[in-house]
């Protein structure tokens, strides 16, 4: 089937998230050698499940939400990927996120395939009991395809360890026995791992620091700009700050703040946690979104949502290293502009893989019922992230390609080698 005959939701000309992912695969195909005969495998999700999630709200009305669970590829192991609750969740987005999980897991070498889930809803419109009912109903609906050896959900946008606890409990009740390994990102009391909450932000810091070494950039007094001040951006900001860098600009869902001398990050994190935003924080100057992108820095960390750096703002960016904390924040056209402008981009599939790496540690600990200390986990995380970055950097230098293309060469080769060795059944 040629690309112009694909179903509409697989249209490579749809420059939604899935269209962007397909472009990325097109770019890496020439580097795959004999494995390229299998490349169509990467352009089709293995399994797409769309479910209706009906719940009774406290006011007695019945609300229906659309939910998804997509398994992109399971050649290297069970599906793995988060679940997001957001009013803008679409099929294209969840498909792309599941595919990026396949790439990410292969790029860092954890034995998982890629999956992703989501429900189209604004969780702020529901109270805690309604949210629990939505979570449990969704888990029951996707229960036919998830499991500790099949597909393991985790937290993502607007989901957390409490949501994971409800998902684990619901799956376990339907199974008839406790299954801690069905999700990761759980509370520690239910088999969660120490270090999981900080893992993605820590991975962003580790890969940023590795790139800085190679470019001769000192972390002390380095200027850092962070978009998104949640679990990823906030932790990355704290770790960069602890290493002596200055966080000079921060953006969240309510606005952007600038402080030439650098923010007191522990204080700003505390303020944001208490007020729900950095908005109105007194020790910073409000700046517009346009001006935010043009602030001069050594590191820019987009840690919000996808499609943030596009052809519209890429030329405004004045930084040395972009560390992608979010999934898919940069479009392919913007990638080309950044490359032409001499900006190094550490791609999401490497930079933000710390979360899934510690999720893998959690899953292993659940299977063995033997748990590691936080120091052990952090040491293992740093080792995995450093080795993954070094391998990708080596391919980029060897083939004279961007880090993103290099990461895709490493990951797609691993996935397609597994596909080829397994063969087709029946």
Q: Which residues contact 222 (CB under 8 A, 6 or more apart)?
A: 212, 240, 244, 245, 246, 298, 299
Q: How far, in Å, CA of 95 to CA of 380, rounded?
A: 30
Cβ(243)–Cβ(237) below 8 Å: no
Q: How far, in Å, CA of 123 to CA of 359, rounded?
A: 24
Q: Which residues contact 256 (CB under 8 A, 6 or more apart)?
A: 249, 250, 286, 287, 288, 289, 291, 292
Q: What share of the chain is helix, strand, coil (3-state, %, to 5)?
A: 50, 15, 30
- The yes-or-no answer on residue 116 being catalytic is yes
β pairing state of 114-120 and 62-73: antiparallel
Helix 17-28 × helix 91-108 angle, to 10°? 40
Cβ(335)–Cβ(188) below 8 Å: no
Catalytic residue, from 116, 186, 246, 320: name it: 116
> Residue 62: beta bridge partners?
56
Residue among 289, 108, 138 at smallest CA distance from 203: 108
Q: Which helix (H) or strand (E) holds 244?
A: none
Look-up of token digits 């704290």 = 238
Q: How far, in Å, CA of 142 to CA of 157, rounded?
A: 19
Cα–Cα distances in Å, from 112 out to 75, 78, 107? Answer: 8, 5, 11
Residue 323 in tokens: 């560390």
Give the active site residues.
116
């Amino acid at each position: 089937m040629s690309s112009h005959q694909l179903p509409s939701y697989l249209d490579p000309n749809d420059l939604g998230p899935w269209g962007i992912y397909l472009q990325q695969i097109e770019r890496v195909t020439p580097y795959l050698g004999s494995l390229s005969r299998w490349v169509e495998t990467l352009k089709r999700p293995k399994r797409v499940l769309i479910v209706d999630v009906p719940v009774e709200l406290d006011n007695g009305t019945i609300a229906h939400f659309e939910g998804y669970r997509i398994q992109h590829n399971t050649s290297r192991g069970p599906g793995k990927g988060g679940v997001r609750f957001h009013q803008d969740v679409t099929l294209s987005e969840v498909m792309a996120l599941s595919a990026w999980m396949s790439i990410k897991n292969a790029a860092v070498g954890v034995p998982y395939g890629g999956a992703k889930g989501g429900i189209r809803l604004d969780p702020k419109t529901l109270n805690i009991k309604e949210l629990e009912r939505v979570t449990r109903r969704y888990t029951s609906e996707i229960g036919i395809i998830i499991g500790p050896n099949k597909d393991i959900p985790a937290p993502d946008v607007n989901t957390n360890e409490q949501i994971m606890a409800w998902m684990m409990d619901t799956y376990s009740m339907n199974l008839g026995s406790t299954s801690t390994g069905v999700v990761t990102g759980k509370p520690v009391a239910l088999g969660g791992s120490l270090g999981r909450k900080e893992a993605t932000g820590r991975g962003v810091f580790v890969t940023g620091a590795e790139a800085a070494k190679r470019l001769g950039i000192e972390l002390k007094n380095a200027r850092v700009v962070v978009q998104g001040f949640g679990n990823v951006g906030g932790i990355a900001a704290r770790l960069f700050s602890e290493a002596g860098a200055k966080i000079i600009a921060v953006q969240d869902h309510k606005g952007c703040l600038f402080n030439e001398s650098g923010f007191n990050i522990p204080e700003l994190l505390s303020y944001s946690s208490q007020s729900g935003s950095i908005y109105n924080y007194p020790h910073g100057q409000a700046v517009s979104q346009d001006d935010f992108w043009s602030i001069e820095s050594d590191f820019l960390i987009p840690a919000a949502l996808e499609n943030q750096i596009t052809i519209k703002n890429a030329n405004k960016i004045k930084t040395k290293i972009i560390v992608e904390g979010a999934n898919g924040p940069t479009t392919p056209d913007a990638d080309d502009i950044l490359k032409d402008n001499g900006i190094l981009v550490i791609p999401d599939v490497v930079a933000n893989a710390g979360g899934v790496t510690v999720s893998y540690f959690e899953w292993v600990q659940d299977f063995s019922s033997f748990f590691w200390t936080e120091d052990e986990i952090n040491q293992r995380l740093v080792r995995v992230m450093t080795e993954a970055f070094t391998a990708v950097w080596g391919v980029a230098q060897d083939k004279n390609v961007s880090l993103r293309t290099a990461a895709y060469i490493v990951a797609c080769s691993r996935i397609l080698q597994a596909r080829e060795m397994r063969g087709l059944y029946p």
